[in-house]
Amino acid sequence: MAHKYHILTSPTPARFKPITKAGIIAWEEGCLKCARCVKKDCVYKVYEKRSLDSRQMLDSLDTACMDCFRCVQNCPNRLIQKSINPLYKALGDNYWTPEIIENIWNQAENGRVPVSGGGYHGPFSGPGFDAMWTDMSEIVRPTRDGIHGREYISTTVDLGRKLMSLEFDSGGKLISSPPPLVEIPLPVIFDVLPWSPGGKGINLAFLEAARNTRTFAVIHQADFMTDMDEYVPNIILFADDDVLKLSKEMIRRLKIIELPDSGNVMAIQEHLKKINPALVIFIRFRLSRNASVRAAALAKEGAEVIHLTANENGMGKAEDPLFIKDRIRQIHSHLIEAGLRDEVTLIGSGGVAMAEHVAKLVICGADAVAVDIPLLVAMECRVCRRCTEGISCPVDLENIDYAWGASRIRNLISGWHNQLLEVMGAMGIREIRRMRGEMGRAMFFEELEKEIFSGMGIKGLINGK
């Protein structure tokens, strides 16, 4: 049996008090001055230990309360109430919801799979990834238990171009020369961030976590510094500045270089391959209406890995916006029709916020996924975007200790790996390479809705179409 992939986790507390969902409102007016106030009965001693974090202006009543409701229920004059913390409601936006952010914070702290305990409370369906369900028909088979090791489930993927056939000479000697491949134990790489407050600690945390989890982190060419030298085996250098500025020595040391798509990108690939034939080249471009045609043209010309990017909410270019899962399905199907799909590796990025999104993008046809904002959220980012306006970061991300950041990211990725094993186990799939493009094992809300209601003249429930 292959050696089991396991990510070491360790509890890594937040530096700042996390913003919690429920706050406490305790009125003084009308107090009956009971001999035994319910506040004294709090088993967590929340009222006795009450303090104010003057740096964040946070009352510890809101952050230390464990939501047992004992004081709320027992106060005879109903002077204590629980309410949704307004700071919590203000976290993130419609896509990066407070629930998603809180979920990532918890996983980054302890590396555990989030468990809601009381069943699923969300809507039946929604936009984006929520309009897709995976087939969990094998969930009752206890042998398919990847987390606890009773059956090995592989999440390993190869990045690179694959040969469709091998040629041998008359003596049986292999004469085909297979293109270089890079293997990663999890279909996740770390991408460049759409925004961040700067500071090299963030990049170093990404790289350290990439090394620990045996994956890769994409680094802008201009951000590469000499103190990242030891991480070169885990770096995907995004040559978005000027690839000709890269020294031959650097090109020979790197395993992967990413190029922005351009008219002469294949000529650049050839130039780099002459210097280092073992190099794997990614070609990166933004999802759009023409993405299928462009991906097929690149695959035909010899592209090895195509990195398809969406914006932070998973949408492609504005002139023809389509959610990433839907566009990747189109591209995957187009490449199959052109007989090119198995030759090239597809990576999708943008809007990936939860572990289930990784599984869903793979089912839609991506070989692997590049993750960005969740890694920053793992390091306490609140998705307030103040850094995009040059305003100081409320959680001082520019000055983090990279080892602390890497530990939080490692915990998050471990939680995601375990959730991926859960999904695959429940689907009865033991090999993630076989899950790629398995759209027959998923249901898509818009398609079901169309199938059922199109003949009745009823408008769509999601977008009114």
Chain residues that interact with ligand SF4, rule: CB under 6 A? 24, 42, 44, 46, 65-72, 196-197, 376, 381-387, 393-395, 397
Tokens read off for 228: 């990242």
By beta-carbon proximity to ligand SF4, the closer residue of 74 and 156 is 74
Distance CA 115, CA 351 (A): 22
By beta-carbon proximity to ligand SF4, the closer residue of 53 and 67 is 67
Distances in Å between the Cα of 353 and the Cα atoms of 87, 92, 130, 412 are: 21, 12, 12, 11
Distance CA 376, CA 372 (A): 7
Is the distance from CB of 374 to CB of 352 less than 8 angstroms? yes
By beta-carbon proximity to ligand SF4, the closer residue of 27 and 69 is 69
**Residue 409: CB minimum distance to ligand SF4, A:** 14
Tokens read off for 278: 């073992």
Write the burial class of residue 133 (CB in 10 Å: 0-12 exposed, 13-18 middle, 19+ buried).
middle
By beta-carbon proximity to ligand SF4, the closer residue of 371 and 426 is 371
**Residue 98: CB minimum distance to ligand SF4, A:** 13
**Residue 35: CB minimum distance to ligand SF4, A:** 18
- Cα 400 to the center of its chain, rounded Å: 21
Is the distance from CB of 304 to CB of 336 less than 8 angstroms? no
By beta-carbon proximity to ligand SF4, the closer residue of 86 and 122 is 86
**Residue 67: CB minimum distance to ligand SF4, A:** 6
**Among 155, 163, 232, CA closest to 188:** 155
Q: Helices marked H in 13-78 — which ranges?
A: 60-64, 70-74
**Residue 261: CB minimum distance to ligand SF4, A:** 28
**Beta pairing partners, 159:** 182
**Residue 379: CB minimum distance to ligand SF4, A:** 8
By beta-carbon proximity to ligand SF4, the closer residue of 404 and 444 is 404
